[in-house]
Every structure is written in C-alpha cells, then in structure tokens.
Amino acid sequence: MHAIILAAGQGSRLAEFNPDARPKCLLEFGGKSLLARQMDSLFRLGTRQATLVVGYEADQVIDHVGTLSSRPEVAFVYNPAFAAGSVLSLLAAREVLNSDETVLVLDADVLFHPQIMQTLIDSPEQNCYLIDKNFVAGNEPVKIAMQKDRIVEFRKKLPPELVYDTLGESIGFFKFNGEIAAKIAHTCAGYKTEGLLDAPHEEVLRDVLLAQPSDFACEDVSSLPWIEVDFPEDVERAIKQIVPAIRRDLPHF
C-alpha cells in the first residue's frame, strides 16, 4: 500500500495563527505538526511508502520530514502550480496512481484520531471513502450522500432533486485499488487538458466514483474526533476540542 499525501497548500486563511507563514501541513497541535502525526500513523499501521506532493515552501516540508523518525520511506514530487488548484497536485503523483498497486490519497491538513486511518487501511473494501455522519451542514463540507448503502453524490453542494437516505462529511482520506487509481490519473489529465484547473481534486474523485458507483463503499467513522484545518475557527476547535478528545483515548497523543 502506497500513500499519496497532498501537502502543497499554503493555508493563507490562517495567517493570524501562522505568523511565520509555514505550510499548512506544518502547523502544530499538541506539540506535533499535522504532517508528523499523519506520517507516524501511516508507519505504525504498516504503510512503508509515501509520496508527498509539495508546492508552497517545499523546502520547509522536505526538511521537516527529514527530522521525523517515525515515517514511511518518502518520495517527493513538486507541483509548481500549487496555487492553481489541487487537481494538478494529484496529477503530480500520476506515477504512483498508475503503478497498479493499492493507494491511499490523503489531505495533509487533517487532525485526526489514529483509529480513523486504521479503519481506512484495514477496511476490506478495495475503494473506500470515510464518512462522518455527525457533521454540521453548510457550504464548506464535502458531503457524501448515500441511498441504500450506495454513494450517489460526493460534493459540497448537492442537487435539490437528489434522493438519499444517509448524509455525512468526507474525511478527506481515501483508498483505491490499482484500476481505480489509474482512472483517477487519467481523469486528472483530462481536467488539465480541458483547463479545469480551478476545480478541487474531489471533483476528479467524484467523476470516477459516479461512473461506476457499485465499485465504491464507505466506512463510518462518525464516533471519532477529527477536523480539517482550513479556517481560524478550525484552529481554535482543534486546540480546545479535538486534541483533548483524542487524548481521552490516547493520553500520549
């Protein structure tokens, strides 16, 4: 299993909490960076290879990874157009996507209970999304809508006519088999050709998902604490709620 970690972003909306303008994945919570925690979780769960897509202040990220003792073997790929959108970051990892092996696709800006990563890796599902049904609805969450245990939509904004019986938020962590990973690479390349670079990479995943929904499934992680760090209020919630909630289970987190 090979992890692709998307870590090219700047996090400009977090300037007041990040006066040194570090890459967002290097923000620290509970004494460790988001990236260090993710690397440690992957390594502890047996993932030995990771490809890190870097962009903004890439040297800082590379140097930071070099200080980590608990991590997979890491290769770096650089996305010079990191400000253009995350489709190009995912496309930068096309060699891994086309390797015919199972891959994890992970956002680097998530603070999470380690059991979330374990649920994804241990899932018997070859193509797996993670869903949190205990989410606050709004325009920002990327939503997973399901009907009779099948994913019928994956997007921030759902069409009003959509029929579903289950709704939740995507964690931003995914697992794909080699066949689906190759289709993701092909679809990313198509977005580049068509000039759709302002679309988030979730749109690529959506296209592949909806083309053959029977090949995909969800694991429910609604009981576990996590947060994607995008806005100042996310930082405050991470410090005041998420880290303490995780430490109730794992005191040394």
According to the model, what pLDDT value does residue 15 have?
A: 65
**Domain 2-249 adopts which CATH fold?**
Spore Coat Polysaccharide Biosynthesis Protein SpsA; Chain A (3.90.550)
* Alpha-carbon distance values, 21 to 13, 24, 209, 211, 234 (Å): 11, 8, 35, 40, 17
Residue count of the chain? 253
pLDDT below 70 — which residues of the chain? 12, 14-15, 18-19
pTM over 0.75: yes
Task: Find tokens 């209970």 and name the residue.
Answer: 113
Residue 156: how many CA atoms within 13 Å on its side-chain side? Answer: 9
According to the model, what pLDDT value does residue 137 have?
A: 85
According to the model, what pLDDT value does residue 215 have?
A: 97
Q: What is the mean pLDDT of the chain?
A: 95
According to the model, what pLDDT value does residue 24 have?
A: 92
Q: Which two tokens stand for residue 43?
A: 């390594």
Closest CA to 101 of 238, 235, 4, 208: 4
pLDDT single digits (tens) 114-154 = 999 999 999 999 999 999 999 988 889 999 999 999 999 99
According to the model, what pLDDT value does residue 189 have?
A: 97
According to the model, what pLDDT value does residue 17 have?
A: 73
Closest CA to 127 of 203, 215, 66, 48: 215
